[in-house]
């Protein structure tokens, strides 16, 4: 498996204000993306995710470091020939209709004639926008812009698709559809670079992740290696008994009506709770073991920072 | 090909701008007004119509070039439409050149529109067509191409308001710099004169494109002068475009 994208110690500082004040945004970012994988780039707002992506796409110039796309220096336009990009909150020429918009990008990419018509039709269909194709973009909702933006990113049949917060602004159904499209891209053999702070999405579809905090990569690797299968605690919901009955067995998190939610850390306490509930004629509503999630790792990292 | 795609999209965008039609409306108003001004003048009415008409084409064309040109690149950055555009395999100079040519096309069409209306107004008065007027308009168009490049240069690094002010200053300096030539003749040789000479070379001389007086007063225009003015416009515009590309090449889009 070859490396599709590689960043080697990339630094970037922005200067702000009349008397320029330097702010270091990227502090030596290094990671790589393998061919054919979905790579998740995680980080809180302002961590440097979008700056990294802009550096990859040559929209900003890193102060130091090297970025290669398919082995080609990212500074050359040729490196972006096989790249598709969907920016965060995509902004497009709002006086164009969806169809004209895609036609404009097709022209830019040198796709003409029948091939252009077919591609536009195919991608409008793929992102579920064929009905709104002849509407001006200014009349689109954010989710619709996101969809037509994805179509634009896929027009040149890219081998690497870079998506910056693609699921933001989408409703739950839209998010699922986007996830399906992304997984399908992987099936077609494309590599997907996905930046997000919506951890569930990343956890569901990504193969590998890198976590960026305040301009530094703090953790990266295969999702399976990062997340342990160990049970952290068990969530037990009990009905018909007061929380005080369990105070020595687990932490009562919340009560609602006659139900109590308990967090139980030790396994032998679970058996004792079950026995206690049976003795006192209560009822166990649910019992769910919680393993570590990406969110736990993420929250831990942010706290330690 | 990429340049022409961007140019045609710029044209599509520019022709939606209401400022364009407002300026066109005022230009037409000036043409019509020139006939009334002619009535108030002692002497040759046709001269007034020609003078006001040509000056209107020049002034409103310049305002179109500046007001639209200064927003050209800034709007793309401000609205973030540039992100998806430059993420495609295109060179930044292709983007800039496309934007420039798109606007030049818009200005060209507007100049043609203004000229047709002006010539109709003039024809209704004189019932003859003077080809020299077309020559004067052509050189006004060359000047507008140069002014569009000026606006583009400023638009690559500053906001539309500041860029408009700078471009306007450039225009004024360009039309007044010929007086430096007079000053040089009056100043005694020495340091001061040398500085004035350097200034005269550096500062633009937009009067090179002004053949209004010759046309209005039906004076002969030497071919050599036309050639020099054309070459001057070409070289100056190329220099400005190159400058814009150089500034734009290393710009970060935050």
Q: What is the pLDDT of residues A139-175, one digit of tens each?
A: 988 888 888 999 999 998 899 999 998 887 788 888 8
Helix, strand, or coil here: B49? helix
B252 contacts in A (CB within 8 Å)?
Answer: 14, 54, 59-61
Measured CA to CA, the distance from residue B49 to residue B33 in angstroms comes to 9
Residue in B with minimal Cα distance to A104: B5
C-alpha distance from B40 to closest chain A C-alpha (Å): 46
Q: Which of A37-41, A171-175, B158-162 has the lowest mean pLDDT?
A: A171-175
What pLDDT is stored for residue A93 in this prediction?
85
Q: Which domains does chain A have, with CATH numbers?
A: 3-226 (3.40.50.300), 231-304 (3.30.70)
Q: How far apart are CA A41 and CA A146, in angstroms?
A: 19
B97 Cβ neighbours under 8 A, 6+ residues apart: B3, B6, B7, B241, B245
* Separation in Å, CA of A296 to nearest CA in chain B: 31
The residue written with tokens 């040559």 in the block is: A58
Please tell me the distance in Å from A126's CA to the nearest CA on chain B: 20
Are B83 and A104 an interchain contact pair (Cβ–Cβ within 8 Å)?
A: no
Structure tokens at A290: 């919680």
**Where do the H-state alpha helices sit in chain A?**
49-56, 98-108, 113-126, 142-154, 172-187, 199-205, 223-226, 267-279, 294-304
Q: What is the mean pLDDT of residues B160-166?
A: 94
- Cβ of A80 under 8 Å from any chain B Cβ? yes
Q: In A163-260, which ranges are continuous DSSP H helix?
A: 172-187, 199-205, 223-226
Rounded to 10 deg, the angle between the B2-14 and A98-108 helix axes is 150
Q: Are strands A231-239 and A283-291 parallel, antiparallel or unpaired?
A: antiparallel
Q: Give yes or no for A83 touching B (CB within 8 A).
A: yes
Name the average pLDDT for chain B: 89
B254 to A14: CB separation less than 8 angstroms, yes or no:
yes
Beta-strand pair A160-164/A83-86? parallel
Residue B190: inside a domain: yes
Shortest Cα distance, chain B CAs vs residue A222, angstroms: 28
Q: Which domain holds residue B127?
A: 2-249
CA–CA separation, A206 and A37 (whole Å) = 8
Mean pLDDT of B67-94: 88
Burial zone of B140 (CB within 10 Å; 0-12 exposed, 13-18 middle, 19+ buried): buried
- Cβ neighbours of A193 in B, within 8 Å: none
Establish if B254 belongs to a structural domain: no
Beta bridge partners of residue A283, listed in sequence order: A239
Among B80, B81, B254, whose Cβ lies nearest the Cβ of A60?
B254
DSSP H or E stretch at residue A32: strand A21-34
Alpha-carbon span B61 to B58, nearest angstrom: 5
Split at pLDDT 50, 70, 90, the class of B16 is confident
Q: How many domains does chain B have?
A: 1
Please give the pLDDT value at position A1. 65
| A20 in contact with chain B, both atoms CB, cutoff 8 A | no
Q: Which residues contact B101 (CB under 8 A, 6 or more apart)?
A: B3, B4, B7, B10
> What pLDDT sits at residue A100?
92
Torsion sign (Cα): B79, B80, B84, B86: positive
Does residue A63 sit at the B interface (CB-CB below 8 Å)?
no
In a domain, B111, yes or no: yes
> Are the Cβ atoms of B87 and A59 closer than 8 angstroms?
yes
Task: Mention every residue, 6+ apart, whose C-beta is less than 8 A from residue B233.
Answer: B142, B143, B145, B146, B208, B209
Q: Quick one: pLDDT band at residue B169, thresholds 50, 70, 90?
A: very high
Kindly indicate the confidence band of residue A289, based on its pLDDT and cuts at 50, 70 and 90: confident
Using the beta-carbon criterion (under 8 Å), do A107 and B1 form an inter-chain contact? yes
- Any A CB within 8 A of B89 CB: yes
pTM score: 0.85
How big is the A-B interface in CB pairs under 8 Å?
Answer: 77
Interatomic CA distance for residues B245 and B254, integer angstroms:
18
The pLDDT assigned to A244 comes to 86
Q: What is the pLDDT of residues A54-106, one digit of tens each?
A: 999 999 999 999 999 998 898 888 888 899 999 887 788 888 899 999 999 99
pLDDT band at B108, cuts 50/70/90? very high
A225, A56 Cβ separation under 8 angstroms: no
Instruction: Please tell me if residue B224 touches chain A, with a CB cutoff of 8 Å.
Output: no
Q: Does B18 contact chain A (CB < 8 Å)?
A: no
Q: What number is the average pLDDT over the span A31-50?
A: 90
């Amino acid at each position: 498996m070859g490396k599709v994208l590689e960043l080697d110690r990339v630094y970037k500082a922005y200067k702000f204000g009349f008397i320029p004040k330097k702010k270091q945004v990227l502090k030596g970012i290094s990671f790589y993306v393998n061919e054919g994988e979905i790579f998740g780039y995680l980080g809180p707002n302002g961590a440097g995710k979008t700056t990294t992506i802009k550096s990859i796409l040559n929209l900003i110039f890193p102060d130091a470091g090297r970025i290669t796309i398919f082995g080609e220096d990212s500074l050359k336009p040729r490196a972006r020939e096989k790249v598709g990009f969907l920016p965060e909150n995509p902004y497009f020429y709002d006086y164009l209709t969806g169809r004209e918009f895609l036609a404009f990008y097709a022209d830019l990419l040198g796709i003409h004639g029948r091939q252009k018509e077919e591609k536009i039709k195919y991608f409008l269909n793929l992102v579920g926008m064929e009905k709104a194709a002849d509407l001006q973009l200014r009349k689109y909702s954010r989710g619709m812009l996101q969809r037509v933006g994805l179509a634009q990113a896929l027009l040149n049949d890219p081998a690497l698709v870079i998506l910056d917060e693609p699921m933001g602004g989408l409703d739950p159904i839209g998010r699922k559809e986007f996830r399906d499209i992304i997984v399908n891209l992987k099936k077609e053999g494309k590599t997907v670079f996905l930046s997000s702070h919506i951890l569930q999405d990343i956890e569901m579809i990504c193969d590998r992740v890198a976590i960026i905090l305040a301009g530094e990569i703090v953790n990266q690797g295969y999702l399976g290696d990062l997340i342990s299968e160990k049970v952290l605690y068990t969530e037990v919901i009990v009905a018909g008994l007061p929380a005080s009955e369990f105070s020595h067995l687990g932490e009562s998190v919340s009560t609602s009506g006659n139900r109590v939610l308990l967090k139980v850390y030790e396994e032998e306490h679970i058996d004792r709770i079950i026995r206690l509930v049976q003795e006192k004629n209560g009822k166990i509503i649910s019992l769910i073991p919680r393993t570590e999630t990406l969110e736990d790792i993420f929250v831990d990292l942010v706290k330690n920072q | 090909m990429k340049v022409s795609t961007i140019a045609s999209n710029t044209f599509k965008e520019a022709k939606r701008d209401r400022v364009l039609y407002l300026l066109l409306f005022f230009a037409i108003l000036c043409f019509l007004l020139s006939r009334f001004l002619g009535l108030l003048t002692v002497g040759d009415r046709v001269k007034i119509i020609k003078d006001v008409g040509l000056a209107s084409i020049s002034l409103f064309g310049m305002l179109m070039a500046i007001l639209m040109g200064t927003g050209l690149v800034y709007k793309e950055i401000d609205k973030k439409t540039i992100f998806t555009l430059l993420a495609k395999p295109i060179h930044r100079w292709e983007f800039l050149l496309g934007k420039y040519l798109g606007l030049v096309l818009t200005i060209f069409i507007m100049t043609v529109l203004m000229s047709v209306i002006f010539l109709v107004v003039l024809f209704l008065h004189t019932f003859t067509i003077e080809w020299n007027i077309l020559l004067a308009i052509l050189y006004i168009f060359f000047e507008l191409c140069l002014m569009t490049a000026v606006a583009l240069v400023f638009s690559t690094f500053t906001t539309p308001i500041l860029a408009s002010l700078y471009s306007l200053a450039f225009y004024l300096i360009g039309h007044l710099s010929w007086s430096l030539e007079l000053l040089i003749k009056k100043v005694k040789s020495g340091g001061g004169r040398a500085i004035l000479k350097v200034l005269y070379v550096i500062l633009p001389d937009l009067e090179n494109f002004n053949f209004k007086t010759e046309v209005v007063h039906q004076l002969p225009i030497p071919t050599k002068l036309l050639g020099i003015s054309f070459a001057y416009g070409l070289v100056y515009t190329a220099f400005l475009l190159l400058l814009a590309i150089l500034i734009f090449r290393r710009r970060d889009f935050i």
